[in-house]
A and B are shown apart, each in its own frame.
Chain A
Amino acid sequence: MHRRGVGAGAIAKRKLAEAKYKERGTVLAEDQLAQMSKQLDMFKTNLEEFASKHKQEIRKNPEFRVQFQDMCATIGVDPLASGKGFWSEMLGVGDFYYELGVQIIEVCLALKHRNGGLITLEELHQQVLKGRGKFAQEVSQDDLLRAIKKLKVLGSGFGIIPVGGTYLIQSVPAELNMDHTVVLQLAEKKGYVTVGEIKSSLKWEVERAKQILEHLLKEGMAWLDTQAAGEPQYWLPALFTELYSQEITPEEAKEAIP
C-alpha cells in the first residue's frame, strides 16, 4: 500500500531537500562573511590612514576624544570594547583608557577607608593627575567617566551617581538605590544632611530618612556628628574639600596595589 510521503523514497527525498537547503544557507552566510571580511580589510586601511594623520590629535586633545567617542556611540560602535579592536590597536585609545582604569582603581582603593568608597569626580581627577606626573597625557573628567563605565563590568561595584552638577563615583559593591542617591544629592550642597532637612525637602517619613542614613553610616560613606547645634548632622567624607589636597599616604598606597 502506498501512503503519501511515507516510505524510504520519501525519506530520502526529504533528506536531499534538507541537505540542499542547508547548503544554500551555508553558501549565503559564507558569501556575506566573505564580503564582510573584505570590507573589514578596507576599513582597516582607512583607519590606518586616519591614524597616521590624526593619532596625535586624539592623544592630545580631550575635546576631540569626546567628539570621537560620541560619534562612535551614535553609529553603534564601542572603540573601547576590546584591546584587540582596530580602534584600540591603531589609534591607541584603548591603552589610554585601560591604563586610566588601573589608576582609578588604585586611587579608589587607597582612599576607600576614608570615604567608604564614594569619591567626587573632582577629587578623583586631582588624585589621578597627581599619580600620573607632569609629563603624562592630559586627562579630562570625561575621560575618567568613560574609563569608569568600562570598569563596571569587573563586578566590584563601580558606579556613577549624578549629584548637583557633578558626579560621585562609587567603587564598592554597596547597594545604593534611588533613595540613597537622592539623599546623597541633598547632602552634596553643604556636605552634610539632617533628618529634618530630608523631611522638609523630600517629604519623607522620619523612619525612611533614618533607614537610608543608617545604611550610609554602616557603609562608611557617612559620618555622624551628634555634637552639632540643633539636630545630628550626617556628613559625607567624600565631600570634605579639605581632603582634596591631602596626599595619599604610603600606607594607603600599599593598600592600593594588589
Chain B
Amino acid sequence: EIVFIEEQAAGIGKSAKIVAHLHPASPNKEPGPFQSSKYSYIKLSFKEHGQIEFFRRFSEEITQRRWENMPAGQTIQVNKDPQAGRIRAVGIVGIERKLEAKRKETDKNISEAFEDLSKLMEKAKEMVELSKSIANKIKEKQGDITEDETIRFKSYLLSMGIANPVTRETHGSGTHYHMQLAKQLAGMLQTPLEERGGIMSLTEVYCLVNRARGLELLSPEDLVNACKMLEPLKLPLRLQIFDSGVMVIELQSHNEEEMVASALETVSEKGSLTADEFAKLVGMSVLLAKERLLLAEKMGHLCRDDSVEGLRFYPNLFLTQS
C-alpha cells in the first residue's frame, strides 16, 4: 500500500522519477511479481516526459481511492466473477473461431490449387510427350523438314518451356521472337555501349534491359539466345565470349585488341596495376578490366605477378627490351 509519493527531478544522466513509498508488506499478502524486496519504495522512471501530468493524476487517485468504491465484477480479477469470466472467454473464442475459419479456407484454397495444379501438369506432360515424338520423327527424316517448320516447332517448345529434344539446346537459329529481340537490343544498347567504352558484360546488359522494361522481363536465356542472333542478323553489335567464360556485348566498331594497346600505355605509365586499380583509373567494371588485362597478357604485352597480395600486371619488358 502506498504511503506517499514524491517527485525526483531529472539530472545529468538521470531521468525524472516518481517515487512511491510503500507500507511494509503484510504477512498474508497475495502472490505478485515479487515475494519480497529489500526496498520499501517503487521508482517510476520517465525517460522522455509526462512525469508532471502523471504525478498530478497519481496524487488524485491516491487521494480519492476510487478503487475502493468500485463494484465487484468490473475489476480485472482471475476467477473472481464467473459472469465476467465467461464474457472474456467468448471474446477470445470468437477470435480463435475466426482464425480457424481462415485457416480452413486457406487450406481449402491450397488443396484446391494443388488439385488443379496436378491436373494441369498432366496436360503439360502430354505436350512434352508429343514434342518428343515429333522430335523423333524429325531425327528420322533427317533434313526433310523445312526451315519454316523447324522454326515453328522451336517456338512451340519455347511457349511450353520444353528443351529442344533434337539438339538438346535451346539456342541456335532461335525463333522469330529471338530475332525480334536481337533487333530491339541493337537499338536499345547502342548508346549505353558508347557510354561505356563500347563493351558491356552480359550481366550488365541483363540488368539494364530489365530495369528499363519494368514488366515482361527477359529471362537470362532469352537474352543469350537473342545475342547469339546479333551477328547472323548483321546487327551493329556482337556477342563475344572470353576464355574465362565471361560473355560480353561489343559494338561492331569496338576492337578489344586496340583497347589493349591503350591499356598497355596506362599500365606502363603507372609502372604496374591490378585489375581493381585499372578499373578505377579507366572507369570500367572490374570484371571487364580484368578481362582486358588478361587479353593483354595473352597477347604478350603484359606480365603478371601473382602473389597473395593480388594479381598485378606489368609491361612485358622481355618483349620490348630485346
Interface positions of A (Cβ within 8 A of B): 21-22, 25-26, 28-30, 32-33, 35-37, 39-40, 42-44, 46-47, 50, 53-54, 57, 61, 64, 67-68, 71-72, 74-89, 94-95, 98-99, 101-102, 105-106, 112-113, 150-157, 172-173, 214, 217-218, 220, 224, 257-258
The verdict on B177 contacting chain A, using a C-beta distance below 8 Å, is yes
Query: How many angstroms between the C-alpha atoms of A150 and B218 in the bound complex?
Result: 11
The B192-237 residues at the A interface (CB cut-off 8 A) are: 192, 196, 200-208, 210-211, 215-224
Contact in complex: B245, A157 (CB < 8 Å): yes
Chain B interface mostly helix, strand, loop or mixed?
helix
Q: Is the CB of A50 within 8 A of B117?
A: yes
Residue of B nearest to A220 (CB): B310
Given contacts A37-B156, A61-B110, contact A156 B144 (CB under 8 A): no
CB pairs A–B below 8 angstroms (14 shown): A22-B144, A57-B113, A78-B162, A81-B161, A84-B158, A84-B177, A98-B217, A98-B218, A101-B206, A152-B220, A154-B223, A154-B247, A157-B246, A218-B307
For B203, the closest partner residue in chain A by CB is A156
Do B220 and A77 touch across chains, with their CB atoms under 8 A apart?
no
Q: Are B120 and A258 in contact (CB under 8 A)?
A: no
B101 at the interface (CB under 8 A from A): no
Please pick, from A82, A98, A258, the residue contacting B158 in the complex, using a CB distance under 8 A: A82
CA gap between A39 and B157 in the complex, in Å: 12
CB distance from A32 to the nearest CB of B (A): 5
Determine if B308 and A217 form an interchain contact, defined as CB atoms under 8 angstroms apart. Answer: yes
A80 to chain B, nearest CB (A): 6
With an 8 A cutoff between CB atoms, is B95 at the interface?
no
Task: Determine whether the beta carbon of A46 is less than 8 Å from that of B144.
Answer: no
In angstroms, Cα B170 to Cα A22, docked, is: 27
Given contacts A32-B134, A71-B121, A153-B220, contact A54 B144 (CB under 8 A): no
Q: Are A54 and B247 also in contact (CB < 8 A) when A32-B133, A77-B124 are?
A: no
Distance in angstroms from B200 CB to nearest chain A CB is: 7
CA distance A196 to B179 in the complex (A): 56
Residue of A53, A113, A154, A218 touching B116 (CB-CB under 8 A): A53
